[in-house]
Amino acid sequence: MKHQININEFKKNVKADFNTRPNYDQGSFHPRLAKGLVEVSHLQTGQRILDIATGTGLVAIRAAKIVGASGAVVGVDISSGMLNLAQQKVKAEGINNIKFIEADAETINFPDNSFDRILCSSAIVYLTDIPAALRQWYRFVKPGGLVGFSCFAANAFPTGGLFREKA
């Protein structure tokens, strides 16, 4: 039997969970994933990058260093706790080409062809309608651009299922 999911409750639970653990990136696991995603994305100086579910800014900060002052990075996350820590990291490192936005990755809107790369590290499993989100993100990416994400098998971690069961 398939569970009926209350999407608003699910997103509320995800947001609450990540607001209570903004230090998830302190080990080597998440930084290694972020580094790998950035490396395979072939970023270049001057590009505009959108980091979906930026969390504490692991991908955004790496990307900002590569695209340099002539480029720009926008990091989007549903969790204010994560974004606060990301902003602290950016300030501590003196990075000036990142803007963070607290928003839902599935409903955020940008003009068509706004970004050279759109990246999402390990968070696509938290989306409630992945195909719709990807269609939207492809609209934001410039012709010849790239939408890149890292993810695990659906049953790799029980967290998403737990949120859905609770909702």
60 vs 150, which has greater pLDDT?
Answer: 60
Mean pLDDT, the chain, rounded, equals 85
Q: What is the pLDDT of residues 149-167, one digit of tens each?
A: 887 766 665 555 555 454 4
Angle between helices 58-67 and 29-40 (to 10 degrees): 40
Contact predicate 167/13, CB 8 Å: yes
pTM for the predicted model, two decimal places: 0.80
164 exposed, middle or buried (CB, 10 Å; 0-12, 13-18, 19+)?
middle
Longest CA span, the chain: 52
Q: What is the pLDDT of residues 64-97, one digit of tens each?
A: 999 999 999 999 999 888 899 999 999 999 999 9
What DSSP element (H or E) covers 107?
Answer: none
Contact predicate 5/128, CB 8 Å: yes
Q: What is the pLDDT of residues 90-137, one digit of tens each?
A: 999 999 999 999 999 999 999 999 999 999 998 787 788 889 999 999
Q: What percent of the chain has pLDDT over 70?
A: 75
Q: Where are the domains of the chain?
A: 7-166
Contact predicate 55/18, CB 8 Å: yes
36 vs 17, which has greater pLDDT?
Answer: 36
Topology at the third CATH level for domain 7-166: Rossmann fold (3.40.50)
What DSSP designation does 118 have? Answer: E
Contact predicate 129/11, CB 8 Å: no
